[in-house]
Structure 1
């Protein structure tokens, strides 16, 4: 008896240690079985307690009265299947007549408590079928990206969602985005992650970093053009517009809209062009956009207006020419002057890390979802990299970016330096490697 007790204590201690140190291993080995049994056993009572049942049909009630038997109880929605995942469970449910997917979406927090899960989210698969994605542990506490993540040209994995799924930055689906965040919120880490993920793809990276290039200069080996001050930024943006105009002329010449050409071969962007004619896509990364909008004199105001006008033209017209814009900053609102709200309206993707005030969260999500604004203001300080990601459709989710040091990003960019294309329009802004090498040496010494 004593040996059995000691063995049980040791096994319990090892399980607790595994749950603390390797929650994913604990979940796959032990937690998924316990959670599956708990969900199946509690399912009926939980549905009834959360008001997700429907009363019995008239036929069953009439039959009970005719046979003088006990009245049938309320009916629970039918389980179509339960599937374990790396981070939780997926429960697919068939709705009863009269139920709506919104009933389950509104009850996700109560379901989370009732099933004793870390998190529950709900989405409608098709008419009459909903899917509950339940997370078994806090996947954002120690972010571990899957060893294998799907990727493609201009579609890169950047962070982990709170439901355990991978969040992708897909430039062809969401061409332009805004990335907000206070100091030490993880905004720069998110940007490094993007650069490191795009470095191995056939794309041209262009950067504007008005902090004298301290964020992007160490990565210069993979950048086709880089501006470190406002004057260079203006010239670079106007050169990109010149490239965009040239690409539109190419598209117009190759549209092939004569009557004898099938509709499938007619194109209005670079992705419909033959591969040998297709220009390389360009991703423009802007660090601290407020520096481009500030001015202290009449001359600087004229330069500022030209910069903002060029940015608005790029985000309005650049997608078809294969130019995608990623704007980062601590604040981004009307106080930066005219044209800024017009620019923000064109930025479909929104990413907001921890902010210092609610007004900053409103800049990102006030026109999308009040719930996203509330979630942004609740991001804790001790979890850098946590962000609320949304788009203009109103959908949003909490994610966290795995930590990527500047040294790691530099190593990736150096290894992929051979992929850096030379763009004739941007030749004047090709970064000099001498300052970049000095920056890399400083990073190495600090490490």
Structure 2
């Protein structure tokens, strides 16, 4: 082998390695996909038999074999309907044989993953007699790269990538209220920035409560219609949202006009059935670190705390029809935060949990809907911030990871769409102050010494 041949081979190998690192989807489509498809088609019959996913021959075939003294027919393999390539793997749709169940394929997903040498395999039943195996060819959560094209619409935004390569959407009209918890440095704040960045270009009002003196949400204030940075302001802001909700309900009730001559399509019980000129702007309320709203140290603070929790419960119970959606974030969210927290949690259909420090925290989120999701949460590694388990009250769950979004990127997005920020008269007192201070800030140690 000449030196030139060795040099060319080294350059090609280096180029493929670089392509695999920078553009794993391109590497998969160019090289990994043809090899994986051939491997699946060649090994399909033997793998199905080894995994116990075949059925014995029919009685008719056995009777014919005995009558003709021929070889006993082999077990029947489920038939492949379609093999579809994707940017992250393959989708194999299979027609099951009589007597088979989709659960058999789902339970064998780990054995199928090893047999086909794929990164991951997940199964689901498409319809009676048809099961779909979605296989990923590489670790899509190692370096998250969202597809260029997404099916985004009002209040439906792409927030993360699922382990099977599909996009995980946050649909506020389908799942109005959600809970997002996670330990420090778990990626919870990045998930929140992603929500704000994707909602910023849409015709919605963003309202925030950040009791860490606004350090998380204040930089994004140009796109927020209202922002509270302490519990006292939070209570006033929530009362303003309740007043807005009551006014919207009066509009809906006035426009219903239920009578025999009104078409069914014009009868509505929420803002989306109102005439376009009467539809109020939908509001997304983001609460950062909910525990700061629930803790108290005196009788006065306890009364304020009870009022805040009551207002949040009312918004979670009644806000959907008025176009008010609640997104609550925190490190813990359980009964140890006091009265009303469990009731509030029961109204939060969507559940997202990043890495937590103990099983009790995972149980607070998923214990009442999906024990399997609870087990997956405590297994999230510390070296993959942004990885989370997303579940709903139906019991289904999926592992996702949010693409890293810096605070600067989120700030730039909010500033670019600041002209879309609607004015909410009910929340005018909590409109963020966008004036920039030119006073040079003293070091923290100096400020503390002055206070002492």
Shared fold (TM-score greater than 0.5)?
yes
Match of 1:86, SS state, is coil
Q: Unaligned stretches of 5+ in structure 2?
A: 444-452
Distance 1:2 1:17 in 2: 24
Shift in alpha-carbon separation, 1:72–1:37, aligned structure 2, 3 A: same
Paired residues for 1:23-422 under 5 Å? 23-422=24-423
Shift in alpha-carbon separation, 1:431–1:204, aligned structure 2, 3 A: same
Distance 1:109 1:235 in 2: 52
Q: Name the residue aligned to 1:445.
A: none
Shift in alpha-carbon separation, 1:360–1:255, aligned structure 2, 3 A: same
Match of 1:254, SS state, is helix
Q: Is the 8 A contact 1:218 1:437 kept in 2?
A: no
1:125 shift after superposition: 1.0
1:346 shift after superposition: 0.4
Paired residues for 1:8-23 under 5 Å? 11-12=12-13, 14-23=15-24
Distance 1:153 1:18 in 2: 35
Question: Any idea what the Cα deviations from partners look like across 1:203-256, whole Å, max 9, x if unmatched?
Answer: 000000000111001111111111000011011111101110110010000012
Shift in alpha-carbon separation, 1:89–1:387, aligned structure 2, 3 A: same
Distance 1:84 1:310 in 2: 49
Match of 1:268, SS state, is coil
Distance 2:12 2:41 in 1: 26
Question: Any idea what the Cα deviations from partners look like across 1:138-188, whole Å, max 9, x if unmatched?
Answer: 011111001111100000111111111111100000000000000111000
TM-score by length of 2: 0.95
Distance 2:217 2:438 in 1: 12
Distance 1:75 1:319 in 2: 51
1:262 shift after superposition: 1.1
Distance 1:394 1:150 in 2: 25
Question: Any idea what the Cα deviations from partners look like across 1:22-68, whole Å, max 9, x if unmatched?
Answer: 32221010100000000001101111111110000000000010111
Match of 1:285, SS state, is strand
Q: Is the 8 A contact 1:220 1:436 kept in 2?
A: no
User: Is the deviation greater in 170-179 or in 254-263?
Assistant: 254-263
1:384 shift after superposition: 0.5
1:19 shift after superposition: 2.8
1:15 shift after superposition: 3.2
Q: How many residues align?
A: 440
Distance 1:387 1:98 in 2: 37
User: Is the deviation greater in 120-129 or in 19-28?
Assistant: 19-28
Distance 1:2 1:90 in 2: 43
Match of 1:276, SS state, is helix
Match of 1:147, SS state, is coil
Distance 2:371 2:12 in 1: 47
1:17 shift after superposition: 4.3
Q: Is the 8 A contact 1:219 1:436 kept in 2?
A: no
Question: Any idea what the Cα deviations from partners look like across 1:90-143, whole Å, max 9, x if unmatched?
Answer: 101000000111111111111111110001111111111111110000011111
1:371 shift after superposition: 1.2
1:18 shift after superposition: 3.1
Match of 1:164, SS state, is coil
Question: Any idea what the Cα deviations from partners look like across 1:307-357, whole Å, max 9, x if unmatched?
Answer: 000000000000000000000000000000010000000000000001111
Distance 2:427 2:87 in 1: 45
Match of 2:278, SS state, is coil
TM-score by length of 1: 0.96
1:370 shift after superposition: 1.3
Shift in alpha-carbon separation, 1:374–1:275, aligned structure 2, 3 A: same
User: Is the deviation greater in 325-334 or in 4-13?
Assistant: 4-13
